[in-house]
Structure 1
Amino acid sequence: MDWLRKADWLTRERVRGYAILLAIAGAGVLVDAYIKAMGSHGTDFLAFWGAGHVTVAGDPGAAYDLAVQERVQTGTGSEGWFAFVNPPPFLFVAAPFGAMPFPLAWIAWVAAGWSLWAWMSIRAFPRLWPLVIAYPGAVIAATHAQTGLLTGALLVLAAHEFGRRPALSGAAIGALVIKPHLAVLAPFWFATGGKWRAFLAASIASIALLAASMIAFGGGILAEYATSWRASRALLEGINPDFLLRMSTFFSQTRLLAGDTAATIAGGLSALAALATAVLAWRRFDGDVQATGASVLAATALASPYLFNYDLAFLVFPTLWLVVQGLERGFRPFEKLGLVILYLAPYATRALAFPLGINLMPFAALALLALVWSRGTRPSGTAPDQ
């Protein structure tokens, strides 16, 4: 059993080799995703391209007009189309890609998002770069052409820079106004640590982005954005297995299996556990900034009832933080094997969700948080870069 308990066969050289092979396979998955995205069924990137397209054309409010978006998006040859439901500051991101032809825009979108996420993640863990470039959570985000790479980069930036540049960390959190449910733990994380510069920077950044969007796109853009809530509400009404199995929260999976009341309880307990993590992390890790960042990012996957596997690129930070801890302090029994499973979890749980009838990612996220939490206090302070 030592080959499982200690997993000594997982040497650095083998891990690097496996990671490079996984990265090559991931490139193949991206090619397949591109071919499918150009087909008749379309891709959810159409929502961002369509929003950017009308913004460049001078009508940003049409980003939230379902009739206009159907016409613009199906004009690419796709039979499917998707509602744009992100807040107005996201139009600053979408506009440059909306100015490109759709086939080129998809490539540019994925390349830019992945490059930003990989650059930030490699800065955080330079010696673990093969594990960064092969990370399945980023592949999932890229293939679905969603915002997970951008939001993942912002969360990794916030966690990595917190100790040295708290204002930059706070600004990165403030920029998550484009997908605010990923930042719900940050105010508690900042406040309980007494990091008021970060708190203030986050507030200023979010308010500035909202104000800039109103100046650039017109004072009525927030009201037009509010009309998109109908599309979001329509997706969430009723129990739709195809939709819920793509989500990765205790709320969604409990709702699928046991209904609304049980889902509300499960989602509430999950959110309370995440909140407790953000509040207690500074004490648990004795002020270790990197450790608190790892725990809060792990808890972020449990904080919201609305989260998908393609949102989880940010989990690279707590996962690789645990790898660093193992390399520095020694791996505990079965920890290497557990980290391999958790590393692959974003992709594996998505692939198995429909065959199993349940998405197991929330259990993987909980296990990841438990592993981070169990590492307790570092005897020598903040973990150095690896």
Structure 2
Amino acid sequence: MFRDMSWLSGRRAGLYGSGIAIALVVIFARHILIYYRGGGYDEGGNLFGADFTTFWAASLQILSGHTAEVYVPELHQAIEQQYLRNGYEAFFYPPTMLILCIPLAIVPYFASYLAFLGATSALFVASIWRILRSPWTLIAILAYPPVYFNIVAGQNAFLTTAILGCGLGLMNRRPGLAGAVLGLMVIKPHLALAVPIALIATARWRTLAWGGISSVLLVVLSYLLFGLDTWLNFLDVSRSARQTLENGDVGFWRLQSIFATMRLLGADVSTAFLTHGLASLGVIGALVWRLRQKTSAAAERSIIALACLLITPFSLFYDMLIMALPLAWMLREWQKTGFPAWSKAVISLTFLAPMVFYLPVIYGFSIGTSLPYGAPIAALFGWFLVRETIMAPDHASAPPSCIKAQL
């Protein structure tokens, strides 16, 4: 039943996806209505898109000439409290992220949030549309729960997913431009740790060089705009970021890494880091070994994206939006070449996991917490792709021209 899932035709998948999309939109609309009636707050005083306050507050500090104070928690929190009633949204991003934040506080919080959301979501939709090129693209996006996680959180996963999708997608055709785009991940570098490893493993020196140039230019620009004190304060506050990770101050159930899974299961910090480190070494080994073999472009990109999610110890529930990229790449490839055994089951599980394990917690339908689903699902998907490229040598050994023709 699940090995081939021949009953799950494209038409049925579209109908099921439409049903899921309608249900999620209705649930989200109900959620929005609660916040709307509360003037942007729910019954507990929680601000809609609360994470965005850290970007908006940073912008206000930049525009007022106090950029270095972004990394002084007491001063940054004081700005956030113009809108934030509960808690504190720390700014642990490097100063390169501040370049993006500059214009955000030109307008009030809610208008800025909607503009930011509109611009970044457009980039995300364009990146997925460019992969799938199907009239069902919008339905698939609306049926994918991490889309709503990112909106509710007020985060930047639309942007990071679009950067990775565009950069990885351009590697074969426009290697220099691909590197320049991938270098933009210096705004959130912990989510792209597998990228330089993959570029070295595949001898994509031009892409690697342009990625380095792009990253360095952004670092230099941030130094020229914000000064040395801002960078020094960032390095100082980074110690607090590590403590936040180790202590689970954001909630281990919100984190999706192997480290967080171990901590949630009761492991101490050392054991969790050791487990995560060993697993990451295994992921890097599998990544390098697989990429040095001939494989399809879609599988190659997908394995890199999944490795990015597995290597970092600090990935949150909204960052799982990146999983949409391997889903889209492999779905399009398998639609053309045929679905291997178990592939539909793996895609379905990857697509539905956030809805089953996390959606009830986000929307308050569950009284408990959820185990992180990100690392296990990414590991399963990655293992399947590595296994499949080994099991299908004829397809994997297709010359590059054939691969490009398929994509």
Fold shared per TM-score above 0.5 = yes
Conservation of the 8 A alpha-carbon contact between 1:214 and 1:220: no
Shift, 1:50, TM fit: 0.8
> 1:311-368: per-residue Cα shift (whole Å, max 9, x none)?
1222112112222333223223443233111112234333467836522321111111
> Which segments of 5 or more consecutive residues in structure 1 lack a partner in the other structure?
none
Match of 1:220 in 2: 229
State how far apart, in whole Å, the 1-side matches of 2:65 and 2:186 are: 23
Once the 2 structures are TM-superposed, how far is the Cα of residue 231 of structure 1 from its aligned partner?
Answer: 3.4
**1:375 partner SS:** helix
Aligned to 2:335: 327
- Cα distance, 1:217 vs structure 2: 1.8
Deviates more, 1:153-162 or 1:231-240: 231-240
Per-residue deviation, residues 44-63 of structure 1 (Å, max 9, x unmatched) = 11111111122223322222
Tell me which stretches of 4 or more aligned residues in structure 1 moved more than 6 Å: none
User: Separation in 1 of the partners of 2:66 and 2:34?
Assistant: 30
In structure 2, the partner of 1:205 is 214
Partner of 1:103: 110
Q: Supply the distance in 2 between the matched residues of 1:188 and 1:234 (Cα, whole angstroms).
A: 27
Residue identity matched to 2:129: I
Q: Give, as a single letter, the amino acid of the residue that structure 2 aligns with 1:54.
A: Q
Name the residue aligned to 1:370.
383
1:4-39 deviation per Cα after TM superposition (whole angstroms, max 9, x unaligned): 443333222232233334334444455426854921
Choose the corresponding residue for 1:299, options 289, 307, 328: 307
One-letter code aligned to 2:148: V
Alignment-derived partner of residue 153 in structure 1: 162
Question: Offset of 1:383 from its aligned partner?
Answer: 5.7
Work out whether residues 34 and 143 of structure 1, in 8 Å CA contact, stay in contact via their aligned partners in 2: no
Question: Is the CA contact (8 Å cut-off) linking 1:249 and 1:304 kept in structure 2?
Answer: yes
Task: Tell me the CA shift for residue 200 of structure 1.
Answer: 0.5
1:55-70 aligned at under 5 Å gives the runs 55-70=62-77
Q: TM-score, normalised by structure 2?
A: 0.86
Q: Is residue 83–residue 231 contact of structure 1 (8 Å, CA) maintained in 2?
A: no
Per the alignment, residue 18 of structure 1 pairs with 16
The aligned runs of 1:1-386 (5 Å cut-off) are 2=1, 4-28=2-26, 30-31=28-29, 32=31, 36=35, 38-39=40-41, 40-42=45-47, 43-76=50-83, 78-127=85-134, 129=137, 130-238=139-247, 243-257=251-265, 258-284=267-293, 286=294, 288-351=296-359, 355=368, 358-376=371-389, 377=393, 378=395, 379-380=397-398, 381-382=402-403, 384=405
**Aligned residue pairs, count:** 382
For the residues of structure 1 that align with 2:223 and 2:211, how far apart are their CA atoms? 19
Percent pairwise identity: 24
Cα displacement string for residues 212-233 of structure 1 (whole angstroms, at most 9, x for unaligned residues): 1111122322112223224313
Contact 2:53/2:80 (8 A) holds in 1: yes
Which piece of structure 1 moves more, 36-45 or 142-151? 36-45
Q: 1:64 to 1:239 in 2, by over 3 A?
A: closer
Amino acid at match of 1:91: L
Deviation at 1:165, TM superposition (A): 0.9
RMSD: 2.5
Q: Is the contact between residue 149 and residue 313 of structure 1 (CA under 8 Å) also seen in structure 2?
A: yes
- Cα distance in 2 for residues equivalent to 1:121 and 1:334: 23
- Give, as a single letter, the amino acid of the residue that structure 1 aligns with 2:344: K
8 Å contact kept, 1:126–1:385:
no
Distance 2:19 2:98 in 1: 36
Residues 151 and 190 of structure 1: is their aligned pair in 2 closer, same or farther, counting only changes over 3 Å? same
Alignment partners' CA distance in 2, 1:136 and 1:173: 25
Tell me, in whole angstroms, the C-alpha distance in 2 between the residues paired with 1:367 and 1:383.
26
Tell me: CA distance 1:136–1:311, structure 2 relative to 1, closer, same or farther (3 Å). same
CA–CA distance in 2 between the matches of 1:343 and 1:23? 12
Is the 1:249–1:302 Cα contact (8 Å) retained in structure 2? yes
